[in-house]
Amino acid sequence: MDIVFLDQNKWIELAQVHSGRTTSGPIAELFPQLIAAVQAGRVLFPLSVANIMETAKRNDPASRRLIAETQAMLSLGHVHRSRAARMQVELRAAIQRRFGIEPPAMPARWAIAPGFMQAFGPMAGLMTSPEDLARIARVNSLMHPAALYLDYMVTQDDARRREANATLSQGLSELVTRIEGRRARFASESLDMRRRIYAAQSWVDHLDLLNQTATALGYSFNDLRALGDHAMRTLLEDVPTMNVEVEMAARLEAKTGPLSTNDVLDMQSFYTAIPYCDRVVAEKAAISRAQQAKLDSKYGVVLSRSLEDLLGIYVR
């Protein structure tokens, strides 16, 4: 079964077919092909946390429902696990490899989980308590994950939804401001230097997690340092979420013109999807940055700018 990531604009294109607004053309032909392929177990389109929040942000209830219905049909309520859950697994395995230990094999598609709550840190099934795991299992047993997602999108309290969206928008705007400040400070630096700077900052931001993970494995930070500078630099490259973020961020900061919150959401979506998908379909600029970094060849993912590239692929 292929795992395919769609950015939000691609979901909107498919929702236009679901709504009946688009009745002809390649996307109208594609939509029933994808529905049939998902039902046959040939492909799945899990949602990222950015997909979920972008859908929840739509104030028009009818529009929000149409997109959520489309997402529910093609994702079956499955999501990409939260960043925290992925990082815990990725960093643990990377540290073990540095000390010559082969990490335990993970289940196939371990980074994909049923139930939209697992896209958010506190409910991530790989790192939560047994009690919360049991809660996830109970919820999924009472309502299909796709139905649970749709119910959340159409019945949530509107005041709470608007408050959450305002908080998200503020957080994204503050992040863009911080990135713009860093762009200004290092405007004269090369792309390679920007990458190095972002990588160093990334380790500072994740130092607590690095120490906690090393300690849980029986090592100290000094044990890691003793491996040498090269081992520490390549450690980041062996943590897919961090590696993709650094490569995308360095190129994002090098672009001309001001950044937008959509640029940041694209970066978040790519470090979520690229390491764990067979295909990623997104907007031209983000795809170009990922291709420039050769992330497609590194992670064995097909990067595409158009939904039309999926026509006929999953037909049997």
Q: What is the pLDDT of residues 194-231, one digit of tens each?
A: 888 888 888 888 888 888 999 999 998 888 888 887 88
User: Reduced to 3 states, what is the DSSP secondary structure of residue 115?
Assistant: coil
HSE on the CB side for 132, CA within 13 Å? Answer: 12
Angle at 267 between CA 264 and CA 271, to 5 degrees: 145
Two structure tokens written together for 198:
């972002």
User: 3-state class of 304 per DSSP?
Assistant: strand
Pairwise CA distance, residues 31 & 241, whole Å? 30
Q: Packing angle between helix 49-56 and helix 61-75, nearest 10 degrees?
A: 160
What local confidence, expressed as pLDDT, does residue 250 receive? 87
Instruction: Say what the pLDDT of residue 202 is.
Output: 83
Show the tokens assigned to 273. 């999807």
Tell me which residue has tokens 């958010």.
Answer: 120
User: Which residues have C-beta within 8 Å of that of residue 64, sequence separation ≥ 6?
Assistant: 55, 56, 58, 153, 154
Distance CA 105, CA 112 (A): 16
- pLDDT of 294-316, one tens digit each? 999 999 999 999 999 999 999 98
Q: Give one word for 257, left, alpha or beta, with left for phi > 0 and alpha for psi -120 to 50.
A: left
Q: What is the pLDDT of residue 182?
A: 81
Strand partners, 113: 79
* Average confidence (pLDDT) per 10 residues, the chain, 316 residues: 97 97 96 97 96 91 96 97 91 92 91 89 51 63 85 85 83 86 82 84 85 91 84 86 91 82 88 96 94 96 97 93
* pLDDT at position 161: 81
pLDDT, position 134: 65
- For residues 166 and 173, is the Cβ–Cβ distance under 8 A? no
What is the phi/psi pair of residue 116, to 5°?
A: -60, -20
Which residue type, as a one-letter code, is found at position 133? L
What whole-number distance in Å separates Cα of residue 96 and Cα of residue 75? 33
Q: Which residues pair with 279 in a beta bridge?
A: 4, 302
Q: How far apart are CA 103 and CA 227, in angstroms?
A: 18
Percent of the chain with pLDDT over 70: 93
